[in-house]
Protein backbone atom coordinates (compact mmCIF):
# COMPACT_ATOMS: atom_id res chain seq x y z
CA UNK A 1 0.00 0.00 0.00
CA UNK A 2 1.37 3.39 -0.95
CA UNK A 3 1.44 5.63 2.09
CA UNK A 4 0.96 9.37 1.93
CA UNK A 5 3.57 11.53 3.61
CA UNK A 6 2.77 12.71 7.15
CA UNK A 7 0.94 15.99 6.78
CA UNK A 8 0.36 19.02 9.00
CA UNK A 9 -2.56 21.34 8.28
CA UNK A 10 -2.19 24.55 10.22
CA UNK A 11 -5.05 27.01 10.70
CA UNK A 12 -3.65 30.44 11.48
CA UNK A 13 -4.21 34.17 11.04
CA UNK A 14 -0.55 34.37 9.99
CA UNK A 15 0.07 31.74 7.29
CA UNK A 16 3.14 33.70 6.16
CA UNK A 17 4.87 32.63 9.40
CA UNK A 18 5.14 29.10 7.93
CA UNK A 19 7.28 27.13 7.26
CA UNK A 20 9.54 29.64 9.11
CA UNK A 21 11.96 27.67 11.27
CA UNK A 22 10.48 24.43 9.90
CA UNK A 23 11.97 25.30 6.51
CA UNK A 24 15.52 24.93 7.85
CA UNK A 25 17.90 22.17 8.88
CA UNK A 26 16.50 18.67 9.48
CA UNK A 27 12.79 19.51 9.14
CA UNK A 28 13.42 21.78 6.14
CA UNK A 29 15.38 19.18 4.23
CA UNK A 30 12.75 16.56 4.98
CA UNK A 31 10.00 18.95 3.83
CA UNK A 32 11.85 19.61 0.59
CA UNK A 33 12.34 15.93 -0.08
CA UNK A 34 8.67 15.16 0.53
CA UNK A 35 9.03 13.18 3.76
CA UNK A 36 6.28 15.36 5.24
CA UNK A 37 3.83 17.98 3.99
CA UNK A 38 2.77 21.34 5.40
CA UNK A 39 -0.25 23.44 4.58
CA UNK A 40 -0.84 26.77 6.32
CA UNK A 41 -4.41 27.98 5.88
CA UNK A 42 -5.54 31.55 6.52
CA UNK A 43 -8.49 31.56 8.95
CA UNK A 44 -9.50 34.96 7.61
CA UNK A 45 -10.46 33.37 4.29
CA UNK A 46 -13.46 31.89 6.12
CA UNK A 47 -14.82 35.17 7.51
CA UNK A 48 -18.21 35.98 6.07
CA UNK A 49 -18.76 39.69 6.71
CA UNK A 50 -17.55 42.70 4.76
CA UNK A 51 -14.77 43.41 7.22
CA UNK A 52 -13.54 39.82 7.17
CA UNK A 53 -13.72 39.78 10.97
CA UNK A 54 -12.56 36.68 12.81
CA UNK A 55 -12.94 37.95 16.38
CA UNK A 56 -15.39 39.79 18.59
CA UNK A 57 -15.63 41.17 22.13
CA UNK A 58 -15.82 38.67 25.01
CA UNK A 59 -19.28 37.84 26.29
CA UNK A 60 -19.41 38.95 29.92
CA UNK A 61 -16.97 41.78 29.27
CA UNK A 62 -13.30 42.14 30.02
CA UNK A 63 -10.24 42.85 27.93
CA UNK A 64 -9.23 41.43 24.58
CA UNK A 65 -11.07 39.71 21.77
CA UNK A 66 -12.32 36.15 21.23
CA UNK A 67 -12.06 34.15 18.00
CA UNK A 68 -15.53 33.47 16.61
CA UNK A 69 -16.92 29.94 16.73
CA UNK A 70 -18.68 30.17 13.34
CA UNK A 71 -15.59 31.36 11.44
CA UNK A 72 -13.38 28.77 13.15
CA UNK A 73 -15.83 25.96 12.43
CA UNK A 74 -16.03 26.92 8.73
CA UNK A 75 -12.23 26.91 8.48
CA UNK A 76 -11.91 23.56 10.25
CA UNK A 77 -14.65 21.93 8.19
CA UNK A 78 -12.97 23.08 4.98
CA UNK A 79 -9.48 21.77 5.73
CA UNK A 80 -9.58 19.06 8.40
CA UNK A 81 -9.49 15.68 6.62
CA UNK A 82 -10.83 13.70 9.58
CA UNK A 83 -9.19 10.48 10.64
CA UNK A 84 -6.36 12.41 12.24
CA UNK A 85 -6.12 14.46 15.44
CA UNK A 86 -7.60 17.96 15.50
CA UNK A 87 -5.51 19.89 18.01
CA UNK A 88 -5.99 23.36 19.48
CA UNK A 89 -2.73 24.71 20.91
CA UNK A 90 -3.79 26.25 24.20
CA UNK A 91 -2.33 27.04 27.63
CA UNK A 92 -5.45 25.34 29.04
CA UNK A 93 -4.54 22.06 27.34
CA UNK A 94 -2.65 19.02 28.55
CA UNK A 95 1.11 19.57 28.45
CA UNK A 96 2.71 18.00 25.37
CA UNK A 97 4.79 14.91 26.13
CA UNK A 98 7.28 12.87 24.13
CA UNK A 99 4.85 9.96 24.39
CA UNK A 100 2.12 11.99 22.62
CA UNK A 101 4.67 13.23 20.06
CA UNK A 102 5.59 9.62 19.30
CA UNK A 103 1.92 8.67 18.85
CA UNK A 104 1.37 11.61 16.50
CA UNK A 105 4.40 10.51 14.45
CA UNK A 106 2.86 7.08 13.84
CA UNK A 107 -0.37 8.60 12.47
CA UNK A 108 -1.14 10.15 9.08
CA UNK A 109 -0.79 13.75 10.28
CA UNK A 110 -2.43 16.48 12.35
CA UNK A 111 -4.64 19.50 11.96
CA UNK A 112 -3.43 22.28 14.25
CA UNK A 113 -5.45 25.33 15.25
CA UNK A 114 -3.48 28.39 16.32
CA UNK A 115 -5.28 30.87 18.56
CA UNK A 116 -4.63 34.59 18.86
CA UNK A 117 -6.10 37.29 21.13
CA UNK A 118 -7.81 35.62 24.14
CA UNK A 119 -8.25 32.36 22.23
CA UNK A 120 -11.20 30.45 20.74
CA UNK A 121 -14.90 30.58 21.66
CA UNK A 122 -15.33 27.52 23.92
CA UNK A 123 -18.29 26.21 21.88
CA UNK A 124 -16.24 25.44 18.77
CA UNK A 125 -13.63 23.63 20.87
CA UNK A 126 -16.43 21.38 22.15
CA UNK A 127 -18.44 21.14 18.92
CA UNK A 128 -15.41 19.91 16.94
CA UNK A 129 -14.11 17.81 19.85
CA UNK A 130 -10.69 19.43 19.68
CA UNK A 131 -7.83 18.02 21.70
CA UNK A 132 -6.21 20.86 23.63
CA UNK A 133 -2.45 20.70 23.96
CA UNK A 134 -0.22 23.13 25.84
CA UNK A 135 3.48 23.72 25.36
CA UNK A 136 3.92 24.49 29.05
CA UNK A 137 2.80 26.69 31.89
CA UNK A 138 3.40 30.04 30.27
CA UNK A 139 1.40 32.21 27.88
CA UNK A 140 2.42 32.83 24.27
CA UNK A 141 0.85 35.60 22.21
CA UNK A 142 -0.28 33.08 19.62
CA UNK A 143 -0.45 29.38 18.86
CA UNK A 144 1.98 29.51 15.93
CA UNK A 145 5.24 29.01 17.87
CA UNK A 146 3.53 26.15 19.74
CA UNK A 147 2.38 24.54 16.45
CA UNK A 148 5.91 24.84 15.08
CA UNK A 149 7.36 23.23 18.20
CA UNK A 150 4.89 20.34 18.01
CA UNK A 151 5.54 19.77 14.31
CA UNK A 152 9.30 19.96 14.83
CA UNK A 153 9.14 17.34 17.59
CA UNK A 154 7.07 14.99 15.40
CA UNK A 155 8.93 15.46 12.13
CA UNK A 156 12.33 14.50 13.57
CA UNK A 157 10.82 11.10 14.48
CA UNK A 158 9.46 10.35 11.01
CA UNK A 159 11.26 7.53 9.18
CA UNK A 160 14.18 8.82 7.16
CA UNK A 161 14.33 12.27 8.76
CA UNK A 162 17.05 11.77 11.35
CA UNK A 163 20.46 10.70 10.16
CA UNK A 164 20.93 7.79 12.53
CA UNK A 165 17.75 5.91 13.30
CA UNK A 166 19.06 5.05 16.75
CA UNK A 167 19.59 8.59 17.91
CA UNK A 168 15.92 8.98 18.88
CA UNK A 169 15.80 6.05 21.23
CA UNK A 170 18.21 7.14 23.96
CA UNK A 171 17.09 10.71 24.35
CA UNK A 172 15.57 12.62 27.21
CA UNK A 173 12.14 11.24 28.22
CA UNK A 174 12.32 8.17 26.00
CA UNK A 175 13.20 5.85 28.88
CA UNK A 176 11.46 8.04 31.46
CA UNK A 177 14.75 9.81 32.28
CA UNK A 178 16.50 13.00 31.24
CA UNK A 179 19.50 12.37 29.04
CA UNK A 180 23.11 12.16 30.30
CA UNK A 181 25.41 15.16 29.63
CA UNK A 182 27.48 15.40 26.43
CA UNK A 183 31.13 16.27 25.81
CA UNK A 184 33.40 16.67 22.82
CA UNK A 185 36.90 17.96 22.07
CA UNK A 186 38.91 19.88 23.17
CA UNK A 187 40.05 17.57 25.95
CA UNK A 188 40.49 20.54 28.31
CA UNK A 189 38.25 23.62 28.17
CA UNK A 190 39.06 26.48 30.58
CA UNK A 191 40.68 23.98 32.92
CA UNK A 192 37.72 21.54 32.81
CA UNK A 193 38.42 18.01 31.63
CA UNK A 194 36.12 15.61 29.86
CA UNK A 195 35.16 12.95 32.46
CA UNK A 196 37.97 10.38 32.04
CA UNK A 197 35.58 7.41 31.74
CA UNK A 198 34.32 8.81 28.41
CA UNK A 199 37.77 8.62 26.86
CA UNK A 200 38.70 5.29 28.48
CA UNK A 201 37.45 3.20 25.58
CA UNK A 202 35.57 0.92 28.01
CA UNK A 203 32.06 0.77 26.54
CA UNK A 204 30.53 -1.00 29.53
CA UNK A 205 31.85 1.68 31.89
CA UNK A 206 30.69 4.46 29.58
CA UNK A 207 27.23 2.94 29.50
CA UNK A 208 27.07 2.61 33.27
CA UNK A 209 28.34 6.17 33.78
CA UNK A 210 25.77 7.59 31.38
CA UNK A 211 22.99 5.67 33.06
CA UNK A 212 24.04 6.94 36.50
CA UNK A 213 24.24 10.53 35.22
CA UNK A 214 20.80 10.26 33.62
CA UNK A 215 19.31 9.03 36.88
CA UNK A 216 21.09 11.71 38.91
CA UNK A 217 19.92 14.53 36.62
CA UNK A 218 16.33 13.29 36.67
CA UNK A 219 16.33 12.90 40.47
CA UNK A 220 17.81 16.35 41.06
CA UNK A 221 16.09 18.36 38.35
CA UNK A 222 12.72 16.70 37.84
CA UNK A 223 11.53 14.99 41.01
CA UNK A 224 8.07 14.33 39.49
CA UNK A 225 9.62 12.52 36.49
CA UNK A 226 11.83 10.57 38.86
CA UNK A 227 8.84 9.41 40.91
CA UNK A 228 7.07 8.28 37.71
CA UNK A 229 10.21 6.46 36.66
CA UNK A 230 10.51 4.61 39.97
CA UNK A 231 6.83 3.68 39.78
CA UNK A 232 7.22 2.27 36.26
CA UNK A 233 10.47 0.41 36.78
CA UNK A 234 10.00 -3.33 36.15
N1 LIG B 1 -6.35 34.07 27.40
C2 LIG B 1 -5.69 32.84 27.23
C3 LIG B 1 -4.35 33.02 26.53
C4 LIG B 1 -4.47 33.33 25.08
S5 LIG B 1 -2.92 33.44 24.32
C6 LIG B 1 -5.47 32.18 28.58
O7 LIG B 1 -5.13 32.89 29.53
O8 LIG B 1 -5.60 30.95 28.70
C9 LIG B 1 -3.34 33.36 22.61
C10 LIG B 1 -3.13 32.05 21.93
O11 LIG B 1 -1.79 31.65 22.07
C12 LIG B 1 -3.97 30.90 22.46
O13 LIG B 1 -5.23 30.86 21.88
C14 LIG B 1 -3.12 29.69 22.06
O15 LIG B 1 -3.41 29.25 20.75
C16 LIG B 1 -1.71 30.25 22.11
N17 LIG B 1 -0.98 29.86 23.32
C18 LIG B 1 -0.65 30.67 24.35
N19 LIG B 1 0.03 30.01 25.30
C20 LIG B 1 0.16 28.74 24.87
C21 LIG B 1 0.77 27.56 25.42
N22 LIG B 1 1.37 27.57 26.61
N23 LIG B 1 0.70 26.43 24.71
C24 LIG B 1 0.09 26.39 23.50
N25 LIG B 1 -0.51 27.48 22.94
C26 LIG B 1 -0.47 28.64 23.60
Share of the chain above pLDDT 90, in %: 91
Strands 131-134 and 109-114: unpaired
From the CB of 72, is ligand 1 less than 6 Å away? Answer: no
| Nearest protein Cα to ligand 1, atom 16 | 143
From the CB of 152, is ligand 1 less than 6 Å away? Answer: no
Domains and CATH numbers, the chain: 6-155 (3.40.1280.10), 170-232 (1.10.1270.20)
Q: Grade residue 85 by pLDDT with cuts at 50, 70 and 90.
A: very high
| Nearest protein Cα to ligand 1, atom 11 | 142
The ligand 1 atom at the shortest distance from the C-alpha of residue 119 is 13
- Residue 1 has a pLDDT of 47
From the CB of 111, is ligand 1 less than 6 Å away? Answer: no
CB neighbours of 74 closer than 8 A, spacing ≥ 6? 46, 48
Q: What number is the average pLDDT over the span 119-142?
A: 98
For residue 40, list its beta bridge partners.
10
What are 132-180's pLDDT values in tens digits? 999 999 999 999 999 999 999 999 999 999 976 555 677 889 899 999 9
- Residue 2 has a pLDDT of 53
Its pTM stands at 0.96
Residue 234 has pLDDT above 80, yes or no: no
3-class DSSP string for 81-141? CCCCCEEEEEEEEEECCHHHHHHHHHCCEEEEEECCCCCECHHHHHHCCCEEEECCCCCCC
- Residue 167 has a pLDDT of 59
CA separation for the pair 56, 119 (Å, rounded): 11
CA separation for the pair 228, 217 (Å, rounded): 14
Phi/psi of residue 80, nearest 5 degrees: -80, 120
- Residue 172 has a pLDDT of 87
Amino acid sequence: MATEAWSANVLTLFPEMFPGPLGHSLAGKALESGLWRLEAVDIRDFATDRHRSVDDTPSGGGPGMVMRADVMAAAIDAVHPGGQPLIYLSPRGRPLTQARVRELATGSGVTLVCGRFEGLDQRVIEARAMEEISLGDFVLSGGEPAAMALIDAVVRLLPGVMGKDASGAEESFEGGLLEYPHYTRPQIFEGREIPPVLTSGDHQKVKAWRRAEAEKATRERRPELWDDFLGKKP
